[in-house]
C-alpha cells in the first residue's frame, strides 16, 4: 500500500492506494475511525453498484459500521439539484448526525455530488472519497473541489470541502470499460507533462494508450499523477495561483465538451484534445521548441480518440464563457517543455482562432480504435437457488456448481467474441434491477430465471422493457416435470428456449445469440 498526505488549511487528507478490492475500503475506514463507529452513507452509481457494492457493504458490516446507501444513475446529468436533494433527504430523514460520514464510492460525478452534499449537510460533515475510476483516483477525488452543475455552466455551484481520506482500491479498475481507462489516463499524462523529469520519460515510453499498460504500471502512474496534484494543491488550495496549472489541456478541453454537448466526448478524451491544443499554442507562441513540440504532438496523437464534429465558432463561443477569464482575458496554461508549465494571458486572439480551426480539423476524424468496434455484450442472469447448483437435486440439475457453469459460459462467450457478465440472485427485485441495468449495457441476454420463470410477472415485464434479444435456458426440461413448471412467463419474449440439455444448453444459447446478432448487425457499431 502507498500512503501520503495532503495538507491544506482545512487539515490533513490521507491518500492511500492499494492493490486491493472494495473490501479494503471498509478495513481502512475501521482503522481511520479507531474505536468510533460513525454511521456511513454510501453514495455510488449503478455501474459500480453492480460490480462492487455488495462486497463493500458486507465488509462494512463485518467492521460493525451501520450503513445506508444511495445508488444514482450513471452520468454527468446526475450532478443536479434533484440528486443533491435526494442525497440531503437521505441524510436528513435518516437522522445522520454531525459526526456521521458520507462515503463517495464511484467516479468524479459521485465524488463531486456526495462531497458537496457532505459539505452543506449540518454545515459540513466528514466525507471519504473512494474513487473507482482512473480519472477519480488521479484527479477528481483529490483536492476538495465538490459541486453540481447548473444550466448556465458546469460545476457552477460548489464548495471546497476536503475529504478526510481518499482511498483507492485499484483492483476495482478491472471492471472499468476500456474507453474510460484510456480517457482517464489524460489526467495522468497531464500530471506527467506538469511534473516532467522521470515521470514524463516513463509515460513517454509507455505510450499514450493506457489500455496497453499493465495493471501494475497503471497503478504506479496513478500514484505519481496523484502526487503531482497533491503537491500543487498543497501549495495553493483555493486556486489563487499555481493550482491553475492543473488546468493544462482543460481550456480547449472544456470548450470541446461544451461545444459538442456534455457527454458526447468523455472529459478525459476532451482533455487529450486540449493537451494537443496546448502544445500547438505553446509552439505557435514560441514558448516550446518546434522540434520538441512536434515530438509531443506525434506522441499525443497516438492515443485513440473518437471523432467529434464541431466548428471554430462554437469553440470560440465556449471559450468566451470560460471560468478562467480574468478581466476579459483568458489565462492559458502553456509549456516550455515537460515539467515547465506556465500561466499566461498573452496569447493573441488570432492564434487562438487558428488553434480552434486546427483542433476542429483533427477532432473531425479522431483516431479510431485500433481494436476495431467494441465487443458485443451478453448478460447471463440466473435466478433463485441456482447458487446451489452441484449440491441441489443433482439427479435433476447435474453436479456442476454455479462457478463451473459460469466458467463454461465465459469459454463459450470467448469463442463468439462476446464480452460477458454473469450474475445470480435469489431476489426477484434484484433480478428486475439487473435486467433494467442490462437494458443499457447488453446487446443480448441469456436467462435462466429459475422458479421466477413460472411465477414472475415482474421479471417478464422487465424483460419486455429491455427490447433485447434473449434466449431462455433451463438445465432440466420443465415441461416434463410437475405441472406448475409447464408455464413459462418469459418464453414468448425470447428468441428461443433451450432446455433439458444441462450445462451444454448455455453454449447452444450463446451460439444462437451470436447468429442472431450477426444477422441483424446489432451491437457492432454503437
Which residue in 77, 17, 14 sits closest to 261, CA to CA? Answer: 77
Q: Which three cell numbers stand for residue 327?
A: 478581466
Kindly state the smallest distance separating residue 453's Cβ from ligand DQA, in Å. 6
**401 lies in the site for ligand DQA, by CB under 6 A:** no
Pick the binder of ligand DQA from 116, 478, 503, 523 (CB under 6 A): 478
Q: Which three cell numbers stand for residue 387?
A: 447458487
Q: Which of 481, 486, 504, 515 is catalytic?
A: 481
CB atoms within 10 A of CB 20: 18
**474 lies in the site for ligand DQA, by CB under 6 A:** yes
Cα(338)–Cα(90) distance, integer angstroms: 46
Pick the binder of ligand DQA from 448, 466, 497, 514 (CB under 6 A): 448
Q: Which of 392, 407, 495, 512 is catalytic?
A: 392
| Part of the chain binding ligand DQA (CB under 6 A), chosen from 62-70, 353-361, 417-425, 445-453 | 445-453
Please tell me whether residue 20 adopts helix, strand or coil conformation.
coil
Q: Which of 314, 384, 485, 495 is catalytic?
A: 384
Nearer residue to ligand DQA within complex by CB, 225 or 450: 450
- Residue 274 near residue 334, CB atoms below 8 Å: no
Cβ neighbourhood burial of 4 (10 Å; 0-12, 13-18, 19+): middle
User: Which residues have CB under 8 Å from 16's CB, separation 6+?
Assistant: 1, 2, 3, 28, 165, 166, 167, 168
Nearer residue to ligand DQA within complex by CB, 186 or 475: 475
For this structure, is 155 an active site residue? no
Q: Which three cell numbers stand for residue 442?
A: 447488453
For this structure, is 121 an active site residue? no
**388 lies in the site for ligand DQA, by CB under 6 A:** no
**506 lies in the site for ligand DQA, by CB under 6 A:** no
For this structure, is 474 an active site residue? yes
Kindly state the smallest distance separating residue 480's Cβ from ligand DQA, in Å. 11
Kindly state the smallest distance separating residue 451's Cβ from ligand DQA, in Å. 4
Cα(100)–Cα(126) distance, integer angstroms: 7
Tell me how far the alpha carbon of residue 463 is from its chain's centroid: 26
Three-state SS letters, 28-40: HHHHHHCCCCCCE
Task: List the interface residues with ligand DQA, window 485-504 (CB under 6 A).
Answer: 485
Pick the binder of ligand DQA from 13, 170, 424, 476 (CB under 6 A): 476
Which residue in 163, 138, 279, 284 sits closest to 219, CA to CA? Answer: 138
Nearer residue to ligand DQA within complex by CB, 287 or 489: 489
**Tally of helices (H runs) and strands (E runs) in the chain:** 20, 18
| Part of the chain binding ligand DQA (CB under 6 A), chosen from 106-114, 123-131, 318-326, 446-454 | 446-454
Cα(137)–Cα(380) distance, integer angstroms: 31
Nearer residue to ligand DQA within complex by CB, 188 or 475: 475
| Separation in Å, CA 495 to CA 359, 512, 515, 517 | 46, 9, 11, 11
**400 lies in the site for ligand DQA, by CB under 6 A:** no
For this structure, is 392 an active site residue? yes
| Total residues binding ligand DQA (CB under 6 A) | 10
Nearer residue to ligand DQA within complex by CB, 248 or 434: 434
**453 lies in the site for ligand DQA, by CB under 6 A:** yes
The values of phi and psi at residue 90, to 5°, are -60, -40
**450 lies in the site for ligand DQA, by CB under 6 A:** yes
Kindly state the smallest distance separating residue 486's Cβ from ligand DQA, in Å. 10
Kindly state the smallest distance separating residue 405's Cβ from ligand DQA, in Å. 10
Pick the binder of ligand DQA from 185, 228, 265, 475 (CB under 6 A): 475
Q: Which of 385, 402, 410, 495 is catalytic?
A: 385
In this chain, which residue has its C-beta nearest to ligand DQA? Answer: 450
For this structure, is 408 an active site residue? no
For this structure, is 385 an active site residue? yes
- Residue 281 near residue 351, CB atoms below 8 Å: yes
Parallel/antiparallel/unpaired status of strands 470-474 and 332-335: unpaired
Q: Which of 117, 254, 382, 448 is catalytic?
A: 448
Nearer residue to ligand DQA within complex by CB, 247 or 488: 488
**456 lies in the site for ligand DQA, by CB under 6 A:** no
Which residue in 374, 370, 375 sits closest to 419, CA to CA? Answer: 375
Which residues is 130 bridged to in the sheet?
105
Parallel/antiparallel/unpaired status of strands 470-474 and 40-45: unpaired
**170 lies in the site for ligand DQA, by CB under 6 A:** no
- In terms of phi and psi (left: phi > 0; alpha: psi -120 to 50; beta: otherwise), the region of 296 is alpha
| Separation in Å, CA 48 to CA 15, 107, 133, 332 | 21, 9, 10, 35
Kindly state the smallest distance separating residue 162's Cβ from ligand DQA, in Å. 50
Pick the binder of ligand DQA from 217, 451, 511, 524 (CB under 6 A): 451
For this structure, is 301 an active site residue? no
- Binding positions for ligand DQA, rule: CB under 6 A: 385, 448, 450-451, 453, 474-476, 478, 485
Catalytic (active-site) positions: 384-385, 392, 397, 448, 451, 472, 474, 481
Amino acid at each position: 500500500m502507498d500512503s501520503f498526505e495532503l495538507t491544506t488549511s482545512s487539515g490533513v487528507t490521507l491518500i492511500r492506494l492499494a492493490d486491493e478490492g472494495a473490501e479494503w475500503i471498509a478495513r481502512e475506514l475501521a482503522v481511520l475511525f479507531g474505536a468510533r463507529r460513525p454511521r456511513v452513507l454510501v453514495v455510488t452509481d449503478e455501474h459500480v453498484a453492480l460490480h462492487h457494492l455488495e462486497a463493500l457493504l458486507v465488509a462494512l458490516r463485518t467492521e460493525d459500521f451501520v450503513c445506508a446507501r444511495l445508488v444514482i444513475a450513471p452520468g454527468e446529468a446526475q450532478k443536479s439539484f434533484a440528486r443533491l436533494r435526494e442525497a440531503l433527504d437521505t441524510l436528513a430523514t435518516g437522522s445522520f448526525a454531525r459526526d456521521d460520514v458520507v462515503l463517495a464510492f464511484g467516479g468524479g460525478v459521485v465524488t463531486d455530488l456526495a462531497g458537496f452534499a457532505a459539505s452543506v449537510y449540518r454545515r459540513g460533515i466528514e466525507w471519504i472519497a473512494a474513487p473507482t475510476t482512473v480519472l477519480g483516483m488521479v484527479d477528481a477525488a483529490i483536492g476538495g473541489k465538490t459541486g453540481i452543475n447548473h444550466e448556465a455552466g458546469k460545476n457552477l455551484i460548489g464548495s471546497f470541502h476536503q475529504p478526510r481520506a481518499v482511498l483507492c482500491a485499484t483492483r476495482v479498475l478491472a471492471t472499468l470499460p476500456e474507453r474510460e481507462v484510456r480517457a482517464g489516463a489524460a489526467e495522468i499524462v497531464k500530471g506527467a507533462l506538469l511534473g516532467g523529469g522521470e515521470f514524463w520519460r516513463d509515460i513517454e515510453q509507455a505510450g499514450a494508450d493506457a489500455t496497453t499498460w499493465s495493471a501494475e504500471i497503471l497503478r504506479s502512474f496513478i500514484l505519481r499523477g496523484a502526487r503531482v496534484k497533491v503537491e500543487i494543491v498543497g501549495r495553493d488550495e483555493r486556486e489563487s495561483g499555481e493550482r491553475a496549472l492543473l488546468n493544462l489541456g482543460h481550456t480547449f478541453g472544456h470548450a470541446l465538451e461544451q461545444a459538442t454537448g456534455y457527454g458526447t466526448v468523455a472529459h478525459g478524451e476532451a482533455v487529450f484534445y486540449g493537451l494537443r491544443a496546448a502544445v500547438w499554442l505553446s509552439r505557435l507562441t514560441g514558448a516550446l521548441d518546434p522540434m520538441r513540440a512536434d515530438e509531443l504532438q506525434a506522441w499525443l496523437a497516438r492515443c485513440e480518440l473518437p471523432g467529434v464534429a464541431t466548428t471554430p465558432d462554437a469553440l470560440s463561443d465556449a471559450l468566451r464563457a470560460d471560468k478562467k477569464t480574468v478581466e476579459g482575458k483568458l489565462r492559458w496554461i502553456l509549456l516550455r517543455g515537460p515539467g515547465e508549465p506556465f500561466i499566461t494571458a498573452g496569447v493573441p486572439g488570432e492564434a487562438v482562432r487558428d488553434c480552434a480551426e486546427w483542433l476542429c480539423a483533427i477532432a473531425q476524424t479522431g483516431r479510431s480504435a485500433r481494436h476495431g468496434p467494441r465487443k458485443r455484450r451478453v448478460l447471463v442472469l440466473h435466478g433463485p437457488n441456482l447458487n446451489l447448483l452441484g449440491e441441489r437435486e443433482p439427479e435433476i440439475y447435474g453436479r456442476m456448481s454455479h462457478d463451473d457453469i459460469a466458467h463454461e459460459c465465459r469459454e463459450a462467450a470467448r469463442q463468439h467474441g462476446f464480452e460477458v457478465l454473469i450474475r445470480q440472485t435469489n431476489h426477484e427485485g434484484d433480478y428486475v434491477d439487473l435486467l433494467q441495468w442490462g437494458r443499457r449495457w447488453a446487446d443480448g441476454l441469456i436467462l435462466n430465471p429459475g422458479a421466477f420463470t413460472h411465477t414472475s410477472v415482474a421479471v417478464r415485464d422487465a424483460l419486455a422493457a429491455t427490447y433485447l434479444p434473449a434466449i431462455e435456458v433451463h438445465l432440466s426440461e420443465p415441461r416434463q416435470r410437475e405441472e406448475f413448471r409447464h408455464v413459462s412467463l418469459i418464453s414468448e419474449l425470447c428468441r428461443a428456449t433451450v432446455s433439458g440439455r444441462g450445462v451444454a444448453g448455455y453454449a447452444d444459447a450463446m451460439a444462437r445469440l451470436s447468429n442472431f446478432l450477426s444477422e441483424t448487425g446489432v451491437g457492432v457499431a454503437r
